[in-house]
Structure 1
Amino acid sequence: MPEHDNTALIADDDEFFRMALSSILSGRLGLSEVIETGSFDEAVEQLEQKPGITVALFDLSMPGMGNPANLRVIRELFPDIRVIIVSSSRRREDILAALEAGVHGYVPKGLGVDDLTQALKSVLGGSIYVPPSLADVSGLVSQRPAMAVPDEVPAPQPERLPPLTPRQRDVLELLVKGWSNKEVARMLDLGEGTVKIHLAALFRNLGVRNRAAAAVLGARLLAAEKDREADVKGATGSP
């Protein structure tokens, strides 16, 4: 197989598995550079800073990767990047959620080196990969997942804060205070593009379409969360 003059990103909190994937991507598949990160937030920052990334591999159970909305945002904002889930989960709902978010492959961690190499090679070659042994998802395996598009009807707003990454929560708290993207970027030492990615994920997670709605809903949910924490402390007698 000819060498790829491009860069891969691995986002997984298992350092040894990252090393194994990196060895396959560079040694067997010939990618010119492999970037390793241990969380979704770190991955977002690398995607923004490294325009040469052409394939990104995400673990479903790493810190920050708890919501399919995060995958949809990656696919929407980086449409030219091949996105692959490499996960130990064999649950049908996880496979379907990943495919519906628009990923290009769902690869189980239990594969041997040769099978894993072939799976990654298949995705790099333009195919959608899901092992038949993992899912009976008729029609979805052989078809390219459709890109997620904004719903005509806004999603129902949550009564509690949905699972957010640490960076998403930081951005939300500053958004509620009225900070601009440039100010948020300066406060959190991030690029403005990175802040925009986190905002897009926040909108998805909160079921809103703009920063004003996110600020209003975020303020209510953050206040409600603070009240609940105060009630718990009062009930337990915690200082």
Structure 2
Amino acid sequence: MMDGPNSSGTNDPLPNPPCKLPQQSQRNPYRLLEFAVHFLGMSGPAALIRVLIVDDHPVVRFGLRTMLESESRISVTGMVGSAREAVRALTETPADVVLMDLRMPELEGSEAILELKRTQPDARILVLTNYESEEDILGALRAGATGYLLKNTPQDEIVRGIEMVFENRRYVPPSIADRLMETLGREELTPRELEVLMLVARGMTNKEIAQALFISDKTARNHVTNCLLKLKANDRTEAVTTAIRRGIIRISE
């Protein structure tokens, strides 16, 4: 068992000044790990990414945990089998990225993502699934997922996806993005999407865009998602800079 920074009976020099281990951390091994990383300076230049695995197949859950625990930057905070269990798990132990399957018991597809985002609006969701239809992919992204991967994706790309979603950047592999372009049509933005993109360029959030255009938050989010996909952008900033570079929009002084 690892002693805390103030444990007695050790000859190792304590950091100066000594720090008391938070009582909450003593009861939660993941918070204890976070405390050790922060206090002892074990993290190096990159922050630890806390991941919650959500999949209804135990073999998949344990396989993903084994794979991710081999990555020094990733800490698996828990494993659950449904979206509702994920809501409870996030309430008890926060996670930076939710790695979840698309179709599970109780809730499936975009409904599961919508439920998770409704109760945990700050959750960053990376879908990892076997389903690759355009309807599934677009439904997940429009519901609030930040990334989408297939389960046959190599480990290094899954890790890359987790890192990008952790940074709040959209992650869709080129193979999926190219296929979505066929569904979304050519890269032209609709008049409404151009209007939304101009408001994004002004720094507005989805909620502020919805209020300005008298549309629902969900509709505003769908428009922003379409803009990112059509411009092949990973985040809102990249979408705006790409549109300006291509002459699609102009920002007045």
Tell me the percent identity.
30
CA-CA distance at 1:115 after TM superposition:
2.2
- Are 2:126 and 1:84 equivalent residues in the alignment? yes
Counterpart position of 1:23: 66
Letter in structure 2 aligned against 1:74: L
User: 1:63, 1:23 → 2: CA distance?
Assistant: 24
Deviations 1:78-125 (A, max 9, x none): 232211111111100000001111111011101122222222222223
Counterpart position of 1:49: 92
Q: Judge conservation of contact 1:26–1:34 (CA < 8 Å) in 2.
A: no
Matched residue of 1:133: which SS?
helix
* 7-16 vs 81-90, which moves further: 7-16
Normalising by structure 1, we get a TM-score of 0.53
Call closer, same or farther: CA 1:123–1:12 in 2, change over 3 Å: same
Matched residue of 1:71: which SS?
helix
User: 1:43, 1:150 → 2: CA distance?
Assistant: 22
Counterpart position of 2:159: 117
Choose the corresponding residue for 1:8, options 17, 33, 51. Answer: 51
Q: Judge conservation of contact 1:57–1:84 (CA < 8 Å) in 2.
A: yes
Query: Which of structures 1 and 2 has the larger relative contact order (alpha carbons within 8 angstroms, sep 6+)?
Result: 1
Letter in structure 1 aligned against 2:217: V
User: 2:180, 2:126 → 1: CA distance?
Assistant: 17
Counterpart position of 1:103: 145
Call closer, same or farther: CA 1:146–1:84 in 2, change over 3 Å: farther
Normalising by structure 2, we get a TM-score of 0.50
User: 1:150, 1:111 → 2: CA distance?
Assistant: 29
User: 2:180, 2:60 → 1: CA distance?
Assistant: 27
Call closer, same or farther: CA 1:57–1:19 in 2, change over 3 Å: same
Q: Judge conservation of contact 1:12–1:18 (CA < 8 Å) in 2.
A: yes
Call closer, same or farther: CA 1:63–1:2 in 2, change over 3 Å: farther
CA-CA distance at 1:22 after TM superposition:
1.9
Report how many aligned residue pairs link the two structures: 148
Call closer, same or farther: CA 1:41–1:77 in 2, change over 3 Å: closer
Letter in structure 1 aligned against 2:172: V
User: 1:17, 1:72 → 2: CA distance?
Assistant: 23
Unmatched 5+ residue regions in structure 2? 1-43, 182-186, 190-196, 208-215, 220-253
Counterpart position of 1:149: 217
Choose the corresponding residue for 2:169, options 117, 127, 143. Answer: 127
Taking the TM superposition and a 5 Å limit, the aligned residue runs for 1:190-201 are: none
- Post-superposition, which runs of at least 4 consecutive aligned residues in structure 1 deviate over 6 A? none
> Which has the higher Rg, Structure 1 or Structure 2?
2
Counterpart position of 2:192: none
Call closer, same or farther: CA 1:125–1:20 in 2, change over 3 Å: farther
Let me know the Cα RMSD of the aligned residues.
3.1
Call closer, same or farther: CA 1:25–1:126 in 2, change over 3 Å: farther
